């Protein structure tokens, strides 16, 4: 079974320094076609998507989750909004027996804004965050896949991961967490006590230097081989893909 985590940055084409810049912001049809091709190219049975949109003007009113489900030949999918028409989702080729949602509250935090003048403080609102769990009916029994996209502001990020871990205790095992955690190894493993199934730099997409996208596992599931961070031409992250084996088969 192939799992993937993909931060698509509202379906925006990847910006590569130098010549050959992507089409302008009004080329929504071309952007959507590239997005669909990117999702299909992963060949994944389950894709956890971050920064997807539904009906928002900047992405041409597209329903990113529905297009991803069609491109991936999914039989089940679900969207969780963290803001109106914006959030995370899961598409799955494997039937889902139950869905579970967790909403993580936003926090008002001071943040430094860099300008040509000396930096000054202004108050910004960190966007709300969420987690979405799908319990899959695999041939080898149930598998829970959790998708999330955590805050960019620490220590809020680590607080959210603690909350997610406690919430996930009641979900069936084995369990795999997929998503943009905005944390570098080994912090996610240390907080959750779960195993990493993927080690590959994922950010920034054009020349990745850090891994902030992760695949963590708890229970009887393991990687069938090395994970890959794939350049898709969409978004500012690389898609993180790993094949897994559930149970003791193989």
The per-residue pLDDT for range 107-163, each reduced to its tens digit, is 666 565 555 566 555 555 678 899 999 999 999 999 999 999 999 888 889 999 999
Under the banding of pLDDT at 50, 70 and 90, the label for residue 15 is low
Q: What is the mean pLDDT of residues 233-237?
A: 90
Q: What predicted TM-score, i.e. pTM, was given to this entire model?
A: 0.89
Residue 21, pLDDT > 60, answer no
From residue 37, give the alpha-carbon distance in Å to each of 31, 32, 33, 75.
10, 9, 6, 18
Q: Give domain 2-246's CATH number out of 3.90.1300.10, 3.30.565.10, 2.30.110.10, 3.60.10.10.
A: 3.60.10.10
Is pLDDT larger for residue 54 or for residue 102? 102
Mean pLDDT, the chain, whole residue set? 89
Give residue-wise pLDDT tens across range 202-222: 999 999 999 999 999 999 999
Contact 149/203 with Cβ under 8 angstroms?
no
pLDDT at residue 19 in the model = 46
Q: What is the mean pLDDT of residues 182-207?
A: 97
Token digits of residue 92: 């799955």
pLDDT at residue 54 in the model = 84
Cα 160 from Cα 190, distance rounded (Å)? 14
Residue 93, pLDDT > 80, answer yes
pLDDT at residue 63 in the model = 86
Report the percent of the chain where pLDDT is more than 90.
Answer: 68
Tell me the β-bridge partners of 64. none
From residue 199, give the alpha-carbon distance in Å to each of 124, 193, 205, 215.
33, 16, 15, 9
């Amino acid at each position: 079974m192939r799992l993937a985590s993909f931060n698509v940055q509202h379906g925006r084409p990847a910006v590569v320094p130098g010549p050959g810049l992507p089409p302008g912001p009004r080329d929504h049809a071309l952007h959507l076609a590239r997005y669909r091709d990117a999702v299909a190219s992963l060949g994944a049975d389950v894709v956890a998507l971050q920064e997807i949109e539904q009906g928002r003007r900047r992405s041409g009113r597209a329903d990113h989750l529905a297009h991803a489900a069609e491109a991936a030949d999914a039989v089940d999918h679900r969207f969780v909004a963290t803001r109106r028409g914006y959030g995370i989702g899961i598409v799955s080729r494997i039937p889902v027996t139950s869905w579970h949602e967790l909403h993580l509250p936003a926090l008002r935090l001071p943040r430094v804004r860099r300008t040509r003048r000396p930096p000054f403080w202004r108050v910004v609102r960190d966007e709300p965050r969420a987690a979405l769990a799908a319990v899959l009916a695999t041939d080898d029994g149930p598998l829970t896949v959790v998708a999330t996209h955590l805050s960019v502001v620490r220590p809020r990020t680590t607080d959210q991961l603690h909350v997610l871990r406690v919430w996930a205790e009641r979900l069936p095992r084995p369990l795999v967490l997929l998503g943009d955690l905005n944390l570098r190894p080994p912090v996610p493993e240390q907080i959750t006590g779960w195993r990493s199934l993927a080690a590959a730099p994922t950010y920034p997409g054009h020349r990745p230097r850090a891994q902030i996208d992760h695949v963590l596992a708890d229970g009887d599931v393991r990687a069938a081989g090395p994970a890959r961070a794939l350049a898709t031409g969409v978004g500012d992250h690389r898609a993180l893909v790993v094949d897994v084996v559930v149970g003791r088969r193989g």
